[in-house]
Structure formats: C-alpha cells, structure tokens
Amino acid sequence: MAGRPFALQQPALTMERFRGAIAVVTGAARGIGFASAELFGQEGALVALLDIDSDGVEAAAERLRHQGIEAIAITCDVARETAVESAFATVDEQFGRIDVLHASAGILLPATVVEETLERWERTLSVNVTGVFLTARAALRRMVPQRSGTVVLTGSMSGMIVEPDLLGYCTSKAAVNHMARQLAYDHAKHGIRVNAVCPGWVDTLFGEEFAMSAEETVAAVRATVPMGRQATPEEVAAVVAFLASDDASYVTGHCLVMDGGYTLP
C-alpha cells in the first residue's frame, strides 16, 4: 500500500478553531467518530461522545481526558428516539448548549436485494438514516434559538454511485447526503451551516463486514483507488473539522467527496 506523504505523517497542531465550543459526536467510540472528537478537543472544544458501545465510548472519552480534553461519554443508540433525547438532555445539563454536531454513527451490512432480509434492511435504515435524523433534529432544536451552529453528517461516496452488494448501505447514504442539502436549505436563515463528508475506503472496522483479509483489502484498494490506499480516520476528521469551522464559513449544503479518486472514472 502506498505510504502517506511526509507532510501528513507528523501534522503540527497549531489551530484552535473550536476553543470553548461544545461539540457532540455520534459513533464516537472508534473510527471516524473518535478521530473527529479527538480533533475537536485538540482544537479547544468540550466534547460529548455518543455511542451504543458503553465500554467503548467510556474508554474513548478517557483517552481524550488523558490528553487534557474535557470530554463526557454517553451511551446512546441513535436509532431510538428516547435514547437520543436523553443523551442531548445530558449534554444540556453538562454544557448548556451545542455548537457543533458530527453525526457519524453508521453500520454497513452487505447484501443484494435478493439476499437482503427485512430485519437487516430496517436496521440499516434505522441507524444510518433515522439515527442521523434524530440526532440532527435534537441538535438543530437547540441551535435554532441560538441562531448559530454547524452540523456535519457522515455521508459516503456510496450515496452517489452504485456499488456491488451494498443495496442498503448505498440507499441509506444517498438519503444522508440529500438530508445534508435539505437541512442546509432549511436552516441557512438561522445562521446554521450543514454539510456532509463523503469518504470512500477508510481504514476502519467497516472493512471486516466484507470478510476480506488484510491482503485482499490492500489488493482491492490498489485496484480501485487511484491514490492506491485507504484514507485514515484522522484524514476524514480533518475534513469534518474544516466543514465545521469558520474556515468553511460560506460552505453549506455541500457533500464533500474524499475518496482518493475512486469515483473519477
């Protein structure tokens, strides 16, 4: 697998774009969610980490605390309305407001339509679409009275193209990508920006769903990604932070594809 450019191997952290901001991240126990929570915290935010994995999210929050980041862990199944409302009530109690939401929780269950079960289909949509709706609704209900805030949804390049054996995932991510546009249109008048980051191959646990070995994954990436490698969660987090920050102050309703060139052909 091709190595990362030298400039990316040891990034110098010099920015404090989120000093004093309250950031909420779902799917924060690992992967992209954890990486974005960490970067928000390193740049000055107080962070609420939400995840269905109780032990995992607490361990993630503890890792941030060891870095001197103020972080709280909240167990939350984003597909359940009561769980989401309870989680955001806890954020209210702890921090009093929300400035940034990164809705990153998601699942990938590969199948074609003839292989798919109703249970798996409904679970995919409940987490990937309803979960984003519930968390975005909870955040925006708090941001609208403030007339400020930024929201970043984790969409996917898979919501823009078709891919083999990913009926539920591609359909759900197409909905998320479009939800970002709709939310942006509805809430620009409130001083709120909404965007989506749309990664391609990312080196996370999602790859295990395809039951591919590390060697098979490397071969598949080299065959399909012009840059010859997967993104790291930290690279995705950097794009999330850009979209959430004032560096992107005139960007809203945008689905930013970062796929190493996968969708170019």
- pLDDT for 12 beyond 60: no
pLDDT at 204: 86
- pLDDT for 13 beyond 60: no
The active-site residue, picked from 169, 185, 250, 262, is 169
Q: What's the mean pLDDT in 84-98? A: 98
Q: How far apart are CA 192 and CA 186, in angstroms?
A: 9
Q: How far apart are CA 101 and CA 85, in angstroms?
A: 14
What is the residue-wise DSSP string for 30-61?
SHHHHHHHHHHHHTT-EEEEEES-HHHHHHHH
- pLDDT for 143 beyond 80: yes
38 φ/ψ sector (left φ>0, alpha ψ -120 to 50, else beta):
alpha
Q: How far apart are CA 133 and CA 251, in angstroms?
A: 21
More confident site: 211 or 242: 242
Q: What's the mean pLDDT in 136-152? A: 98
pLDDT at 213: 82
Task: Name the residue ranges covered by the structural domains of the chain.
Answer: 18-257
- For a pLDDT cut of 90, what percent of the chain falls above it? 88
Contacts by residues 1-6 (CB-CB < 8 Å, ≥ 24 positions apart): 1/218, 1/221, 1/222, 1/228, 1/229, 1/230, 2/227, 2/228, 2/229, 3/229, 4/229, 4/232
pLDDT at 1: 40
pLDDT at 134: 98
- According to DSSP, the residues that pair with 196 across neighbouring strands are 153, 255
Tokens of 80: 């359940």
pLDDT at 206: 61
Q: Which three-class secondary structure state does DSSP give residue 142?
A: helix
How far the first Cα of the chain sits from its last, in Å, is: 21
- pLDDT for 129 beyond 60: yes
Q: How far apart are CA 259 and CA 199, in angstroms?
A: 5
pLDDT at 177: 98
Tokens of 2: 């091709």
Q: Which three-class secondary structure state does DSSP give residue 195?
A: strand
Q: What's the mean pLDDT in 217-225? A: 93
- N residues, the chain: 265
Q: Read off the pLDDT of residues 64-83 as tens digits, 9 standing for 90 and up.
A: 999 999 999 999 999 999 99
pLDDT at 6: 46
- pLDDT for 209 beyond 70: no
Spatial strand order of the sheet with 71-75 comes to 71-75, 46-51, 22-26, 100-103, 149-154, 192-199, 255-258
Query: What is 18-257's CATH topology?
Result: Rossmann fold (3.40.50)
CA torsion, ordered 195, 199, 204, 10, to nearest 10 deg: -90
Instruction: Place 246 in a pLDDT band, splitting at 50, 70 and 90.
Output: very high
Instruction: Place 8 in a pLDDT band, splitting at 50, 70 and 90.
Output: very low
Q: What's the mean pLDDT in 173-180? A: 98
- pLDDT for 253 beyond 60: yes
**For all residues of the chain together, what is the average pLDDT?**
94
Tokens of 37: 């929570």
Active site residue 185: no
pLDDT at 73: 98
Instruction: Place 10 in a pLDDT band, splitting at 50, 70 and 90.
Output: very low
More confident site: 210 or 58: 58
